[in-house]
Structure 1
Amino acid sequence: MPGGSIYVQQNEKYTGSSPQWWYEKFWREDAPNRRKHRYVKAGVGFVIGVAIALRFDLTGASPLFGLLLGGIVAGADWGFYWYSFHRTAVWRGARRGEVITGRTLRRSLNRLGYHVLDGRAIRGQASIDHLVIGPGGLWIIDNESWSPDIEIACYAGRLFFGEKYGSKVAKPLVETAEAFAELLTRETGVPVTIRPMIAVHCGILPKNGVVMGEGLTLLKPRLTARLIKAADVDVLDAAQIELLSRTAARELQRV
């Protein structure tokens, strides 16, 4: 099977006739066509490079200019298609979204006094991938991926995933944030609210990479830390952050 491994047990979601399996199959089968088109584009780049050199009376260097521009065009074409395939890695099961987002959060937030706890749940209830506690407040972050052609948008305050309403996605995470906040407030005596977010690893977001609706923020993974840092600081002091973090580590079950 495309992308398979005899050493890793396959998830049924990514095998058989799943959209992920067909996407990877067609991608690999289309490789000869992509190479052929790349050669054509590189050839056009070569001709343009030669023409530019001749235009500026650089006759002796025209082949070099042609090769240079042709190489740039071919490299840019390869990079574009590589990125379009790479950005589906989480959706295809080739990478784990929680690992990507967790690394991004720690790299950007730890030095600013934020604590990042991974894989937490209220015993017997919903779980989340990341809980962030810091000077700007608290956030829970889940990781999700949708088909590469699914547009994620908000119209009149309602979330949409393609043609489907997003309430079934938003409501459980909003309720989980409320439950986490209630538990931490009760156990610490520090009144807190928790803002829920979803790091979207595959799917079509607006150009700014952020969609807000129904109490939920959906955004590109690389923007999660940036949005948190943009929040008002001094919502919590160092003692409150430490208390909330220790309480969350004790009261919230690892998953």
Structure 2
Amino acid sequence: MFGMLVNGVIGIAMAALVAIADALVHWRVYNAAGVWRRGLRGNERMDRLLRLTLERRGHRVLLARTVPGHGSADELVVGPGGVWLVHNEAWQPDAEISHHGGRLFIDGRTQSKLVRGLTERAEAAARLISERAGTPVKVVPVLAVHGGHLPRRTPFAADGITFAPPLRLVRWIRRNPSAEYSAEEVEAIARAAVHALPIGGRTMTAAA
């Protein structure tokens, strides 16, 4: 009788452990999927974050601008410390995002097309804004990462571009100026950008 009781208790305990493990697996899958879903709306999240943080600190944030011949800029940030072209990208929850030898890798594959396109977009934006403003303006490309497995230390630089989750990217922008502008110069550059880069937009899609 005692043996049967012990076996029954052990059976119940094992069943409970299996149920807990199953629930944990399902929770992790759901949580990962949640990151993926949020990533698909990454540009909207980044829009709000930039306006709640940097715009309150003397920056101007321009949304969904088109860089003629080079696609769109999700956000263009003009502030006392410089000008940044922010691109949002979503990767699957289990995608491994890494950098080696100064280059970006996603699941072991280089991302030449992505980084080249973003770099060229920032350079074209800088040229157009500079022409309109009548003064040289540097535009720094940065990428907000939504989803995927990032290295422990972020932000990180690869292929000349800084990568980080949204909030850490905002902090990096604040702490890493590339220029020094007065409030009047910020407004002048922002006005030039408004005229040089027409309103556009894109639907954010998952990267391969």
What band does the TM-score fall into relative to the shorter chain? 0.7 to 0.9
Distance 1:232 1:222 in 2: 17
* Among 189, 193, 196, the residue aligned to 2:141: 196
Name the structure 2 match of 1:121. Answer: 66
Name the structure 2 match of 1:87. Answer: 35
* TM-score, normalisation: structure 2: 0.79
Shift of 1:190: 2.3
Residues 148 and 219 (structure 1), Cα distance of their counterparts in 2 relative to 1, 3 Å cut? same
Name the structure 1 match of 2:174. Answer: 229
Alignment of 1:1-255 (within 5 A): 40=20, 83-91=31-39, 93=40, 96-232=41-177, 235-255=180-200
Distance 1:142 1:148 in 2: 19
Contact 2:155 2:172 in 1 (8 A): no
Shift of 1:140: 0.5
Shift of 1:78: 8.8
Structure whose CA Rg is larger: 1
Shift of 1:77: 9.1
SS across alignment from 1:192: coil
Higher relative contact order (CA 8 A, sep 6+): 2
Structure 1's unaligned 5+ residue stretches are 1-35, 42-73
* TM-score, normalisation: structure 1: 0.65
Distance 1:85 1:240 in 2: 43
Shift of 1:162: 1.0
Residues 220 and 37 (structure 1), Cα distance of their counterparts in 2 relative to 1, 3 Å cut? farther
Provide the aligned C-alpha RMSD in A: 2.4
Shift of 1:80: 5.8
Distance 2:91 2:106 in 1: 9
Contact 2:86 2:142 in 1 (8 A): yes
Contact 2:49 2:167 in 1 (8 A): yes
Contact 1:135 1:233 in 2 (8 A): no
Q: Percent identity?
A: 34
SS across alignment from 1:149: coil
Contact 2:88 2:144 in 1 (8 A): yes
SS across alignment from 2:176: coil
Shift of 1:216: 1.0
Q: Given residue 196 of structure 2, which amino acid in structure 1 is its aligned partner?
A: E
SS across alignment from 2:152: coil
Contact 1:199 1:224 in 2 (8 A): yes
Structure 2's unaligned 5+ residue stretches are 1-15, 201-208
Contact 1:105 1:224 in 2 (8 A): no
Aligned pairs, number: 184
Shift of 1:154: 1.2
Structure 1, residues 166-207: CA drift from partner, whole Å, max 9, x if none? 211111100110111111111112222111111111111112
Contact 2:97 2:107 in 1 (8 A): yes
Structure 1, residues 207-233: CA drift from partner, whole Å, max 9, x if none? 233231111111111222111111238
Shift of 1:251: 1.9
Distance 1:77 1:151 in 2: 19
